[in-house]
Amino acid sequence: MNPGGSFGEKVVESRPSVADYTTVPTKSESNATTKTKKSDVSFVGKRGIRSNNGVYQLLECSICTNFMYPPIHQCPNGHTLCSNCKNRVVNSCPTCRHDLGNIRCLALEKVAESLEFPCKYRNIGCLDISPYYNKLKHEQNCRFRPYNCPYAGSECSVTGDIPTLVAHLKDDHMVDMHDGCTFNHQYVKSNPHEAENPTWMLTVFNCFGRKFCLHFEAFHLGMAPVYMVFLRFMGDVNEAKRFSYCLEAGTDGRKLIWQGIPRSIRDSHRKVRDSLDGLIIQRNLALYFSGGNRRKLRLRITGRIWKRE
């Protein structure tokens, strides 16, 4: 998973004159899924006029083939291109080599404004139809969009629906799968003092017909070495809120207890960790909980998941 990646690809453009444009992630529009869908899409204008692929193709930048959003530019000979490409090619039209100047193609911007498009995830169930300029914003938040692999500690780029990701976690990351809504895990580390690198572990729980990721991490919070345990829900943000969980670590008499709401895997692992939304145990306390001579971490975490209300 690459928590920062999707944000890094966003190209934020300044469009001072028009209010409701969305950010344009050139990368996601140019991926293979989009490409195969593009050609077979027909769309309906505001007054119900069905258009064909001709107009649709006019909105693809002839240089990068991404969809164009205002400001759409053109050269004095009428070749259109997106603002990203315009900035890249300096001042020469990639098609005719004429000086580009600074000409906006307002007519095409207006035409685009009057069109409506189906969501690109319609083949997996989304029925949304949005005005052209809202389409990207919708798709960035569409509940049918694929999830990122929730595995921590690696730059895994696999995306997919939940069943795909569960199979991927099991087969490719060798993640342990458990059935049931309670857990009783022991984390053992023989040399907890020398571990400067972040350590992480993931277990998947199958409970209420849903999948949950239990993360165990070792990292430094400022100067202090800590362990953190938290739960993520393999599904959307709104559904995650329907569940609660608790975690407990300790020995006889002394206990740390955490109760929380699982975070959706829409929130990156890193984001959840950095927001400290979970059970945090200072290393000294963890070693105390481990018993023995404090050289070895032997931390037992028990917990439970339940439905709220």
Compute the least distance from the CB of residue 158 to Zn ion, in Å: 4
Compute the least distance from the CB of residue 92 to Zn ion, in Å: 9
Range in contact with Zn ion (rule: CB under 5 A) among 49-57, 107-115, 138-146, 214-222: 138-146
Q: Residue 1 corresponds to which tokens in the numbers above?
A: 């998973």
Could you say which of 10, 15, 37, 79 contacts Zn ion (CB under 5 A)?
A: 79
Residue 124 as a binder of Zn ion (CB under 5 A): the answer is no
Q: Is the N-terminal amide bond of 150 cis, ω within 30° of 0? A: no
Could you say which of 95, 134, 159, 203 contacts Zn ion (CB under 5 A)?
A: 95
Residue 234 as a binder of Zn ion (CB under 5 A): the answer is no
Integer CA distances (angstroms), 96 to 71, 74, 80, 92, 141, in order: 20, 11, 11, 8, 38
Nearer to Zn ion, 21 or 288 (CB): 21
Do residues 45 and 101 make contact, with C-beta atoms less than 8 angstroms apart? no
11: DSSP letter = B
Compute the least distance from the CB of residue 61 to Zn ion, in Å: 3
Q: Residue 129 corresponds to which tokens in the numbers above?
A: 């139809």
Neighbouring C-beta atoms of residue 178, cutoff 10 Å = 16
171 contact partners, CB below 8 Å, separation of at least 6: none
Residue 77 as a binder of Zn ion (CB under 5 A): the answer is yes
d(CA 208, CA 243) in angstroms, rounded, equals 10
Q: How many residues does the chain have?
A: 309
Could you say which of 69, 117, 121, 132 contacts Zn ion (CB under 5 A)?
A: 121
Could you give the string, one character per residue 148-177, with x where binding to Zn ion holds by CB under 5 A and - elsewhere? -x-x----x-x-------------------
Residue 265 as a binder of Zn ion (CB under 5 A): the answer is no
14 contact partners, CB below 8 Å, separation of at least 6: none
Integer CA distances (angstroms), 53 to 50, 97, 174, in order: 10, 27, 45
Residue 184 as a binder of Zn ion (CB under 5 A): the answer is no
Could you say which of 119, 231, 265, 272 contacts Zn ion (CB under 5 A)?
A: 119
Compute the least distance from the CB of residue 191 to Zn ion, in Å: 27
Picking from 122, 126, 129, 150, the residue whose alpha carbon sits closest to that of residue 230 is: 150
Could you say which of 24, 59, 72, 75 contacts Zn ion (CB under 5 A)?
A: 75
Compute the least distance from the CB of residue 221 to Zn ion, in Å: 26
> Pairing relation of β-strands 176-179 and 182-189?
unpaired
Residue 100 as a binder of Zn ion (CB under 5 A): the answer is no
218 contact partners, CB below 8 Å, separation of at least 6: 189, 192, 195, 198, 199, 200, 225, 226, 227, 228, 283
Could you give the string, one character per residue 29-68, with x where binding to Zn ion holds by CB under 5 A and - elsewhere? --------------------------------x-xx----
Contacting residues toward Zn ion, per CB under 5 A: 61, 63-64, 75, 77, 79, 82, 85, 93, 95-96, 98, 119, 121, 126, 128, 142, 149, 151, 156, 158
